[in-house]
Structure 1
Amino acid sequence: MERIRVRGVARGPVTLSPVGQTTYSADRKDFAGHAAQSVADMMATVPGASFLQGNGPRDTVVSIRGSGARQSYGLRNLQVSEDGFPVTQPDGTARADLIDPHAYEGVDVFQGPASTLYGNYAINGAINFRTRSGASVHGLELGSDFGSFGMFNNYMTLGTGNRAYDFVLFASDVRGDGFIANSQYATSTENMRLRVSLSPTDRLVLKFINNVTDAFLPLRLSLDQYRLNPYQRGCATATGAAAGCGTVSLYRNGAYGPRMEVTPQQANLGRFDRRSIVGLRWEHDFTPRMVWHTQFTYDQRHIDQPTSTTAFVGPFNSYNVQTDLTRHDRLGTTPLTSYVAANFNYMDYGYQVYALLPQAGATRGSETSTSYGHQWNIGLRFQEDWQFAPQWHLVIGLGGTQSDIGAVQTVYSRNATATRAQYVTANRRFFNLAPEASVVFTPDKVWTWHARLGTAYATPGYSSFFVTPQGNYGNNTQLKSQSSLGIDLGTQWHPSPSLNVQATGFYEFYRNELVSQSAGVNTQAGSYTFNAPASQHRGVELAATWQALPRTLPGTKLRLSYTYDNQIYTDYTEILSNNTMSRSFSRKGNLIPGVMPHFLNARVLYDQPSGMLEGVGGFAEVTWRSAFFIDNANQLRVPGYGLLNLEIHYDPPARLGWVHRLHSYFEVQNVADSLYAAGATPVSDTLLADGQQAGKGVLSGKTGSIYAGSPRAFFGGVRVRF
């Protein structure tokens, strides 16, 4: 059941959330019994959360209230953690490849600007994934999922625990051919957590995650290509390829001069990435009412990504230290919880970019650029949680972060007679503050009302510092941090055990949002990053769970999750250029591209509670996404869609003996075999030769945007406990 968590600061960073912050949770029962392959399957029932296909089978672009909807990969503008350990690196990058839903007990989504507690990049909230406890596993579980397009996932979970310790180990290996040409993949994941009680007042928690992703990648299509050939069939070679095939133009010698068109299959475009995280936390109770946590996390992301015309290669090493102190006290006769925390994180990186040769094996040609640098963030935050009356809670807090970003980029240009290297050095420091306040009113057991004023910030990324507003390679460090201020008003209505309804309205004001635009006519780099002055995000989230007939059909339940998300620019002038001129266009009042205005998930669930068919269950699910614009001028719209999924499962009752240890399911996804866009990144608008903006007929031919979603697919699985 999704729920708004109304409570003070939790003991430690594992589930830290302030009173009044809109929080939804998805629990294991919502996703563990069916074909859950990615984070989107885990969070499908969470209002405010939308998903787009990233670069790879589990690289889901997760957006909370539209926060990261313009990304082509990963999770941005969110702070992501697992069991309280950070999995967002200091530059704000997190990826969903790590997530195999079989390993998790649940996920908590804290919505709205949240830098007070979570620091840099928590522009629209935070997400904490919770792995299963060893005590709940209590033995060994082996499972397999299998289905359409060659998908096969073998996984195991080993767990044991008591008051003195808790240990859980998860491992999985998933492989498939994919439903789009050149999308075969193999992904392995290991996830471990060990908690040990050293004494009645001291505990250690050790965390380890390792993920290896080996995936071939198709190219993103234009809307015209998507309509002609969404699954890119008949595209093995560029010569004689079917209509609608995506191609890339590569230098014949891998450096300069004539180019050659090749398909993703010919070049073997793809990703081979490894991510390893290890963390250790010490928890100490000074008194039963005062708890101290200190933890250290090391995180290495090593990438090898020949995804288009170039290969991007290099390591990103990060280090994170966090410490916090929580004290439960009284102010007069009323409870008061005080919280103070500090953190420091540091990332060093060094990557190289190579031009690809037009031959098999994603063969590297000449080096086109290199970048070496660092980013660190040091923060301090406090929070006071005061229950000043039996029905009222008030929280105030303040967080601040000092950030330092430094890098050196080298750009190479080559011709038949010479190689030219251009060096650009950038260094910038930022200081940001984020206050917040929230209040919760609980007049009775039926109603809970909450209100919150939150703020957040996100510093520019290092890659945005190397192209000037004039379009030349150079220093662009005048950029400001983007920031947001958000207001949430919401209620939870729980009149009976069979009905729970939640509604939240939000209104958020963004300043200095980081966007890319044209630098002018015939410039060296073409586009640069700048601060769009202002935009507004507003909407409504609704969640409901209803057991309609608790006496006659006690196993039936209805679940609804709906979000309305309206985002507009309120102050933004965009520059468009062609070969001879540049013009400015006001985007004031335009919808922000990539953001779905409406998305809905509705399920009818049934589980037989008794009798001969006890343990038999299933659900029918409808997912609906509205159409949305993918350009700033609001000329080109990606069609909306609706999908129907059906599932049936069997969990034998305990009276059947050893058979009770088995779980099995069968699922049909996209029953109607609908064509839909699972991923659609924004495209740039075009200035025609006459100085007018191009219409949708021109924009629909722009490539690099759309991945088709899966056609009708069948999945099954079995899990056994020992």
Structure 2
Amino acid sequence: MAFSSQRRSAGPWPWLAVFTAFSASPAAAEDALDAVTLDRVEVTSARLQRVAPFDVPASLSAIELDGGAAAPGVNVSEALSGVPGLSARDRQNFAQDTQLSIRGFGARSTFGVRGLRLYADGIPATMPDGQGQVSHFSLAGAQRIEVLRGPFSALHGNSSGGVVQIRSADGQAPARGHLQASAGRDDSRALSASVRGAGEVFGYALAASRFDTDGWRDHGAARRTSFNAKLHAGLPREGRVQLVANHFDAPDAQDPLGLTRAQVQENPRQATSVATQFNTRKSARQDQLGLRVEQPFGDGHALEAMAYGGRREIEQFLALPVAAQANPLNSGGVIDLDNDYGGVDLRWRWTGTLAGRPLEAAFGANADRQRQHRRGYENFVGDALGVRGALRRDERNRVDNVDRYAQAWWQFAQRWSLLAGARHSAVRFRSDDAYVTAANPDDSGRVDYSETTPVLGLSFAPARDWRLYASAGRGFETPTFNELGYRADGGAGLAFDLVPATSRNVELGAKWRSASGARIEAALFRADTDDELAVARNVGGRSSYRNVGRARREGAELFASLPFGEAWSLELAWTWLDAHFRDGFPICTGAGCTDPSVLVAAGTRIPGTSRQQGWARLAWQPRDWTFALEASGTAAVSVNDTGSEHAPGYAIAHLEAARSWRRAGGTLRAFARVDNLFDHAYIGSVIVNEGNGRYYEPAPGRGLLLGLRWQWQAAGSE
């Protein structure tokens, strides 16, 4: 089912018949006479408080984190396997972040998270320039992860190809908490603990975790420590104030780098030779604080305010050859990056009626700022490699955004509701170069971007437990400072000629649920992008970018959760994605190339994407036992713009078992999990457009995880 701009098959669009059938069923026609009742559940990623996820005209997944997973609780990818449309690849490299992409957005990112908006307890984990990270997402005290896909993601502003938000649990009375320890392959050890409590006014939730590993691959040892604190108190008129503090520290995480195909076949556990030669590694430390206030005023009016600030420090040693640093424009092989960031958000919300029908409206504005001090050093001193040497780059970068937004949900008829919104974003970049020499001129400069992104969604309830919806919107994605960092022609200065990519997004969807707890959700989507950002050249340790014209991402998603009796359950997730460039464009591939001569043909797949991925989980819970068989797989993944190489597709299985013992004051749970049950060799993640052809990051073979979890409750609990 290979697609190109010249040859198209029907793709997923015949699935439209499925949605039509939903409204045509006799049962639906009969039940449609019943009133549509709305659950009162806050949908924070959709920016709604009084509307249930089931009634939102968008693809929205909520993953409850109840402590029942047979997992170490280290990577957010552990919880996201069953979300359709989302790819969360564990890189087995703790010097790099989890690879996240939604419907093809963010797939081309070589590090960090691009093209998606990330939040932790409402605090942005995506900087104003669009670059984000999830390393500080704390699973130890988390209660829920929300994933929003489709057009309504654009209401979150720049780089909103999708939204991922993690929410930590609130304090509760009586006090409760947990202690968990697990051990797995390669001397990996994880320890986490949490405690929560609340009084009549004040509540608290504290969580901490520690993870150590020698790494599955050589030169892959790492240590991560995190702490999360959430304090909240009540205000008059059922108001609330909340303070969130977060700390993350990962010193000297070793980076084994990617491998070529030949190296994978020779020994998938090896590190690239230059990784040990230069002792490639990364240290990351982050501290942040956020304050949120919600104050109702009566008659449905409420004011919400949020302010946050933080600092993220990065030091990374690259395997950049000494010879490449002889170029006076080269910024060296050591990155020293300090990010100070912060922002405010003020929103007025009103819940009431319009023409006698329920209405929720919100108007607000937010401003965010990023102050970045970027320095580059040589990664050698004399003959000693992998040490900080002479200064080669010193600049102070600033990014500011000021956004205004409005959104309204209206159930204008018994079976119909409308969700509409718009956001205007203004993003300003400025760079002041302090490293100026006779051979390295002043690279200072500035550029401003602005965009308005409207969205509209319509939902129809043919029955109490059916929803059909359609939505459309516009999104945009500015280049990040990392993409502005180097000009495509190899000259001095930043690439301020880049313009934002803009997308037109449409989605058709259907949702069904039953009284027994069964759920089925399906969606068709398409996103057409103009001025797509892609790599222009990747040589000498430097990646530069250019706008390459049009691209398209379209496909289908399906999710099903099906209980069978009291003990059995089955969950399924499937995604079909065709992501390709609609225009051809030239790129550089040779060392020192400044004149693009290799053509990427129209119809070539966007790297980092696969046509299909699937996941299934069959669970059996007889009394105090839990058994589960899990399977996942993906089709081949393209690794470069030309499409000349791919990581082969694979299918793997996992097996887990757990036993619980209820004791006075709490529950003890022991769990075991066998990953990659049949010891299948496969590529778990890829490094898109890696300049040396080292695209591949192999996944581990069969491995065993063992763990214990003590979940306690203070006296007085039921």
- Same fold, TM-score > 0.5, yes or no: yes
Query: What pairs with 1:457-472 in structure 2 (closer than 5 Å)?
Result: 457-472=476-491
Letter in 2 for 1:546: L
**Structure-2 residue corresponding to 1:21:** 58
State the shift of 1:495 in Å.
4.5
Does the C-alpha gap of structure 1 residues 577 and 594 become closer, same or farther in structure 2, counting only changes over 3 Å?
closer
Change (3 A) 1:137 1:571: farther
Given the two structures, how large is their TM-score scaled by the length of structure 2?
0.86
8 Å Cα contact 2:151/2:471 also seen in 1: no
Letter in 1 for 2:125: V
Structure 2 counterpart of 1:205: 242
The question of 1:650 aligning with 2:659 is answered yes
1:56 equivalenced with 2:94 (yes/no): yes
Deviation at 1:704, TM superposition (A): 3.2
1:636 corresponds to: 645
Partner of 2:287 in structure 1? 276
2:189 to 143, 152, 166: 152
Instruction: Write the distance in 2 (CA, Å) between the matches of 1:94 and 1:485.
Output: 23
> C-alpha offsets along residues 253-275 of structure 1, whole Å, 9 cap, x if unaligned?
xxxxxxxxxxx234322111101
> C-alpha separation between the residues in 1 aligned to 2:543 and 2:154?
33
Shift of 1:384: 2.0
Aligned to 2:28: none
Per-residue deviation, residues 194-224 of structure 1 (Å, max 9, x unmatched): 1101323432100011100121111211122
Identify the residue that residue 672 of structure 2 maps to in structure 1: 666
Cα distance in 1 for residues equivalent to 2:110 and 2:588: 22
Supply the distance in 2 between the matched residues of 1:198 and 1:527 (Cα, whole angstroms): 51
- Other-structure match for 2:326: none
1:247 paired residue among 273, 280, 292: 273
2:377 is the alignment partner of 1:354: yes
Please say if residues 674 and 704 of structure 2, whose CA atoms lie closer than 8 Å, have aligned partners that are also in contact. yes
Establish whether residue 544 from structure 1 lines up as the match of residue 550 from structure 2: no
Q: 1:682 to 1:475 in 2, by over 3 A?
A: closer
Aligned partners of 2:260, 2:96: CA distance in 1, in Å? 22
Following superposition, the deviation at residue 452 of structure 1 comes to 0.7
Query: Quick one: structure 1 residues 546 and 13, their matched pair in 2 at CA, closer, same or farther if it must change by over 3 Å?
Result: closer
Shift of 1:85: 1.8
Change (3 A) 1:481 1:92: same
Gaps of at least 5 residues in structure 1 are 1-5, 233-244, 249-263, 414-418, 609-613, 686-701
Q: Does 1:191 align with 2:228?
A: yes
Shift of 1:139: 2.4
Q: For residue 343 of structure 2, what is the aligned residue in structure 1?
A: 320
Matched position secondary structure for 1:117: helix
1:31: how far off? 6.0
Further displaced range: 644-653 or 28-37? 28-37
Higher mean C-alpha displacement, 149-158 vs 583-592: 583-592
* SS of equivalent residue, structure 2 residue 597: strand
Report how far residue 474 of structure 1 moved.
2.9
2:80 to 27, 43, 47: 43
What is the distance in 2 between the residues matched to 1:400 and 1:508? 20
Quick one: which amino acid aligns to residue 94 of structure 2? G
CA gap 1:638/1:116 in 2 versus in 1, 3 angstroms = closer
Taking a change above 3 Å as real, the CA distance of residues 12 and 25 of structure 1, as seen in their structure-2 partners, is closer
One-letter amino acid of the counterpart of residue 700, structure 2: S
Q: Residue type matched to 2:364 in 1?
A: A
Q: 1:111 aligns with which of 125, 146, 149?
A: 149
SS in 2 for 1:59: coil
Asked if 1 retains the 8 angstrom alpha-carbon contact of 2:237 and 2:297, the reply is no
Equivalent of 1:97 in 135, 139, 154: 135
Pick aligned residue for 2:599 from 578, 581, 585: 585
1:599 — aligned with what?
613
Q: 1:398 aligns with which of 422, 442, 455?
A: 422
Change (3 A) 1:182 1:458: same
1:40-439 to structure 2, matched below 5 A, reads 40-54=77-91, 55-56=93-94, 59-114=97-152, 116-122=154-160, 124-135=161-172, 138-214=175-251, 215-232=253-270, 246-248=272-274, 264-309=275-320, 310-357=333-380, 362-409=386-433, 420-439=439-458
- Equivalent position amino acid for 2:293 in 1: W
Q: Indicate the residue corresponding to 1:488 in structure 2.
A: 507
What is the alpha-carbon distance in structure 1 between the residues aligned to residue 374 and residue 444 of structure 2? 15
Cα deviations by residue, 1:287-343 (Å, 9 ceiling, x for unpaired): 151111111100211011113221111210011100111101222211222110100
Task: Pick the aligned partner of 2:582 from 566, 570, 590.
Answer: 570
C-alpha separation between the residues in 2 aligned to 1:57 and 1:664? 30
Per-residue deviation, 1:366: 1.9
The answer to whether the aligner puts 1:683 opposite 2:689 as a matched pair is yes
Q: Which whole-Å CA distance do the structure 1 matches of 2:40 and 2:407 have between them?
A: 8
Q: Which ranges of structure 2 fall in alignment gaps of 5 or more residues?
A: 1-36, 321-332, 713-718
Shift of 1:478: 2.4
The secondary structure found in structure 2 opposite 1:443 is strand
How big is the alpha-carbon RMSD for the aligned residues of Structure 1 and Structure 2? 2.7
| Structure 2: distance between partners of 1:160 and 1:568 | 50
Q: Which amino acid aligns with 2:699?
A: G
2: distance between equivalents of 1:594 and 1:224?
20
Structure 1 distance, partners of 2:535, 2:153, is: 24
Counterpart position of 1:506: 525
**In structure 1, what is the equivalent of residue 570 of structure 2?**
558
Distance 1:39 1:136 in 2: 28
Give 1:117 shift.
2.3
Q: Name the residue aligned to 1:450.
A: 469
Letter in 1 for 2:290: G
**Aligned AA for 2:428?**
D
TM-score (normalised: structure 1): 0.85
In 2, Cα distance between equivalents of 1:348 and 1:9? 39
Question: What displacement does 1:582 show?
Answer: 5.0
Which SS does the other structure have where 2:549 is aligned? Answer: strand
Alpha-carbon shift at residue 373 of structure 1 (Å)? 1.2
In 2 relative to 1, CA 342–9 (structure 1 residues): closer, same or farther, beyond 3 Å?
farther
Alpha carbons of structure 1 residues 76 and 465: separation in structure 2 relative to 1, 3 Å: closer
Match of 2:625 among 616, 624, 629: 616
Change (3 A) 1:407 1:434: same
The answer to whether the 8 A contact 2:235-2:295 is kept is no
Residue identity in the other structure for 2:189 = F
The superposition leaves residues 1-50 of structure 1 with CA deviations (integer Å, 9 ceiling, x where unpaired) of xxxxx979976957625931210111114863434431110111111111
Mapped partners of 1:175, 1:466: distance in 2:
34
Q: In 2 relative to 1, CA 110–7 (structure 1 residues): closer, same or farther, beyond 3 Å? A: farther
Mapped to 2, the partners of 1:365 and 1:58 lie a distance apart of 23
The farther-off stretch of 156-165 and 554-563 is 156-165
Shift of 1:586: 4.8
Indicate the SS of the match to 2:276: helix
CA gap 1:524/1:52 in 2 versus in 1, 3 angstroms: closer
Distance 1:391 1:623, change over 3 A: same
Q: Deviations over 1:517-554 (max 9, x none)?
A: 149xxx99986321121111001111011123x1xxx2
State the number of aligned residues. Answer: 654
**1:651 Cα deviation after fit:** 2.0
